[in-house]
Every structure is written in C-alpha cells, then in structure tokens.
Amino acid sequence: MEEIPREVERALRKKAAPKRQRLNQVVVDELTHAIVGTKAITDFSELVGKWTPNLRFDQIIAAQREIDSDQWK
C-alpha cells in the first residue's frame, strides 16, 4: 500500500484540527463525500454552542410538559 502524499496529509490534518476529529474520521468523511456525494454525519460538534434562545419555543415545550390532572385520574 502506498503512503499518503505529504500535501494530502497536511490538508486532512488541517481539516481535522478545528473540528477536533481524528485523522481517520476525516479520511472516511472525505472518501464518503467523494464517492457517494454526501457527507456522513458522525458527530454534531459543529453545532455545539450554536443554540440561540427562543422564548416562543421554550413556551411550547413547557406547555407540552404540563400534566393534565383530569386525564390522569
């Protein structure tokens, strides 16, 4: 088996670093994207810290969590 060219390894490591992914995972993601055309979602680290508060959403969720005591008799 041949070695990965240095410039390819550097590019893969550069992609892995900001996502804090293992190099192997980046290779799998890139191969999947190149062959299948879609990126395999393996983690959601890119979404961490992106939640923005939404009062209406919180109100809807709170209403869904209320127990209707008449239905639980």
Give the start-to-end residue ranges of the domains of the chain: 6-68
pTM of the predicted structure, to 2 decimals: 0.48
Query: What is the pLDDT, as a whole number, of residue 6?
Result: 92
Cα–Cα distance measured from residue 39 to residue 21, given in angstroms and rounded to the nearest whole number: 15
Query: What is the pLDDT, as a whole number, of residue 40?
Result: 61
Residue 72 to residues 20, 32, 68, 69, Cα–Cα distance (Å): 48, 50, 7, 5
The stretch 4-21 carries a mean pLDDT of: 91
Residues 31-65: tens digit of each pLDDT: 888 898 876 666 777 778 888 889 999 999 999 99
